[in-house]
Amino acid sequence: MCVLTVSLGENSYDVLIDGASLSDIGAECALRGLRGQAAVITNPVVGSLYSARVLQSLIDAGNRTILIEIPDGEEHKNFLTLNTIYDKLIDAGFDRESFIVALGGGVVGDVAGFAAATFMRGIPFAQAPTSLLAQVDSSVGGKTAIDHPKGKNLIGAFYQPRLVLSDVDTLSSLPRREFIAGMAEIIKYGVIFDKAFFEYLELNSEKVMKMNRACLGHIIRRCCELKACVVERDEKESGLRAALNFGHTFGHAIETQAGYGKLAHGEAVAIGMSLASKVSLSLGHCDVTDVERISGALKQFGLPFDVPTYDRSQMLRLLTSDKKTRSGVIKVICNCGVGDYLVENLTAEQLLVLSGLEV
């Protein structure tokens, strides 16, 4: 088992990466003081595969358990789903000594984490991510949220888990499209932080796409190491952590405009990274070869990089409502070549022009 620690003082926690580790989640939670009454929050698809194993592990560790299934899909990451969770926790008599286990991908982790952050002003929770995107990115760092019709992740809180347990074997049951979508966040880490890691992805794309276990273990660990380093230095995104949003300003706008659930989050981020690299090119932070390498990597892993049809006025509104916008100016993450980044302050109109969406 690979054990990484996210060092945040009293909010520190371990990230465990291994195969077949879901069966140990009860014992791992107990080691970290999580015991008593536990709610496993999942969706029907993941729940049918793994909830029995997780519930039994928690019971074996001496916990009373309930299972809460929420609908699958980004379109259900909303207040209605959140209130359903609250109702079930209240009906089951949960208190501040109880805890939550988020079993699933990014949607489950975000909603369950936000429920934990806000129920009785905060109860502990553990992340058991089962998608590639969640294992390499969203489960680590304490970002929890639900969507609003006017924008993605606009309602949320920074709230760190007590434990992240990534069972690599769960990726074998992941739909192919979701696996590919998760590669967008992985490519992101190489583009903005680690040129050698980006080159590793270019050279090993065939093995990764065949789900070679050694390659998957390496990329999950490296992404978590990079994420942990960033979060330790900037827990609540006051500076450095904003770099992790490379591709997300455009990506969130594209995902929202398409309608939640139409584009996978990773697909939208991939398109966003392609656009962000063109903005970087226009500003002189990279050259054409870098842009081509980034789009080439996206293509290697079967990710989209062309912008779907969009409505200009809605795109401008969505870009301006981005969480990184201040007084109409957006903090945009640009890549410096491959392996580094910087931040530019731009308006939504400038983004459309610099990205080539408008001439």
The token pair that represents 57 in the structure block: 């592990």
Catalytic annotation, pick one of 77, 162, 248, 293: 248
- Residue 214: partners with Cβ closer than 8 Å, 6 or more residues away: none
Domain boundaries, the chain: 2-173, 191-354
245 flagged as catalytic: yes
- Residue 350: partners with Cβ closer than 8 Å, 6 or more residues away: none
262 flagged as catalytic: no
Q: Enter the pTM of the model.
A: 0.91
* Contact by Cβ (8 Å): 164, 28: no
The token pair that represents 352 in the structure block: 């459309």
Q: Tell me: the pLDDT tens digits for 276-318? A: 999 999 999 999 999 999 999 999 999 998 898 889 999 999 9
What pLDDT score does 37 carry?
A: 97
Instruction: Calculate the alpha carbon distances from 355 to 57, 59, 69, 73, 279 in Å.
Output: 50, 53, 41, 30, 5
Tell me what the pLDDT averaged over the chain comes to. Answer: 95
CATH superfamily of 191-354: Dehydroquinate synthase-like - alpha domain (1.20.1090.10)
What pLDDT score does 205 carry?
A: 96
Question: From 3.90.220.20, 3.40.50.300, 3.40.50.1970, 1.10.150.120, which CATH number describes the 2-173 domain?
Answer: 3.40.50.1970
Task: Give the DSSP H/E element, type plus range, for residue 309.
Answer: none
Catalytic annotation, pick one of 241, 278, 293, 323: 241
Catalytic annotation, pick one of 245, 278, 285, 323: 245
What is d(CA 265, CA 256) in angstroms, rounded to the nearest whole number?
10
227 flagged as catalytic: yes
326 flagged as catalytic: no
What is d(CA 66, CA 49) in angstroms, rounded to the nearest whole number?
16
Mean pLDDT on 242-269: 92
At 342, phi and psi to the nearest 5?
-150, 170
* Contact by Cβ (8 Å): 92, 99: no
- Residue 265: partners with Cβ closer than 8 Å, 6 or more residues away: 74, 106, 133, 181, 251, 255
Helix (H, G, I), strand (E, B) or coil at 284: coil
What is d(CA 202, CA 180) in angstroms, rounded to the nearest whole number?
15
Q: What amino acid occupies position 299?
A: K
Catalytic annotation, pick one of 88, 143, 162, 188: 143
143 flagged as catalytic: yes
Catalytic annotation, pick one of 74, 237, 255, 267: 237
Catalytic annotation, pick one of 188, 222, 252, 323: 252
Length of the chain: 359
Catalytic annotation, pick one of 185, 225, 255, 267: 185
**Res 208 pLDDT > 80:** yes
Q: Tell me: the pLDDT tens digits for 123-157? A: 999 999 999 999 999 999 999 999 998 888 999 99
Catalytic annotation, pick one of 76, 88, 227, 278: 227
248 flagged as catalytic: yes
